[in-house]
Each structure stands twice: as structure tokens, then as C-alpha cells.
Amino acid sequence: MIMVAMLLVMMAVIVVTGIMGALHPASNVELIDPTTLHLQGEFVESNLGTATEPDGSVTVRLIATQYDFVPHCVDVPVGAPVKFRLTSADVVHGFLLPDTNVNTMVVPGFVAEVRTRFAKQAEYAMPCNEFCGLGHQGMWARVRVVPQEQFAGRTLFERRTCATQ
Ligand code: CUA
């Protein structure tokens, strides 16, 4: 009887965690309406790109859409804590910075959040790594890691376009 009870409990745990895991993205459950991204809230156009926080960290907001990331290039400072917040306007995309811990799915209806810190100056190509349609292989953007002083001297527009000064 005890053995059967233990078996049942373990099977129940497997079934419940399996269903819960399938219903929700694992890391960060934040809901958002993908049809009104451009109209209201955190992901309106003027709020996209790299924003500085009072504590010295930066937050990068991006929209993934067929077939580009908006904005297409962002600057972030070396050494500071960086928080990427992404969402999708249409289908499931992927967000990957090669050779870093940044790798997440971007699912419409949810906000994906990844935290990292870049140790050195670099320029990353960020390819979409979820098949999202015929233009998938051409969907990529860039993250430029620039020195703190250079970052501080750049305007919001320059930070979200990587425009050279
Ligand atoms: Cu977006 Cu593949």
C-alpha cells in the first residue's frame, strides 16, 4: 500500500509539473498584449533601446518582429548590469548573443527578461534562433558593448541606432 501511494504521489508530481511547465514559459511570466505594443505601455517606440537606471544599470527594450529586431542595433556599457527585456509582435522568435549567457525565446504575449554583464568591449551579432518564417535566416541585429565614458556621452538616439559620432 505504501509503495503504491508513493508511486501515485510521484506520478502526480510529474504530471502536474509537466503541465505547468508546458503552460508557461519557464523563466519570467509577464503578460503583454502583442496587438497594442506600438500604442501603449513599455514597448512604445520612444521607449525602445537602451535606458539608464538610477542605480547605474541599463535596461534594453527590444521588439522582435518578422524579420527584424527593433531597434536594429543597441549600445550598452562595459561592466554595468544589463537587463534585456523583449517581446514579440507576431510569432515566436529567439534572442541569442553568441558566447554569452543571453539566450531566450521571445514569445508573443509574454515579456522575456535576461540579465547579464559584459566584461569587455565587443560587438555581437544577435541572430534570431527560432525558425519564424521565410525571412528567418535574415533576421538579426547587433549589440555593441562600448566603454562607459563613450556610452555616457551618447544620446538616446545614438544608443539605439549605434550611429557613429
Ligand atoms: Cu525571428 Cu527567426
Q: Are 116 and 99 spatial neighbours (Cβ–Cβ below 8 Å)?
A: no
pTM here?
0.79
Q: Are 34 and 60 spatial neighbours (Cβ–Cβ below 8 Å)?
A: no
Ligand 1 binding pocket, CB closer than 6 Å = 64, 93, 128, 130-132, 136, 139
Q: Are 59 and 35 spatial neighbours (Cβ–Cβ below 8 Å)?
A: no
The residues facing 43 across adjacent strands are: none
* Residue 162: pLDDT band with limits 50, 70, 90: confident
Percent over 90 (pLDDT), the chain: 55
- Lowest model confidence (mean pLDDT) among 1-5, 94-98, 137-141, 150-154: 150-154
Q: Which atom of ligand 1 is nearest to the CA of 132?
A: 2
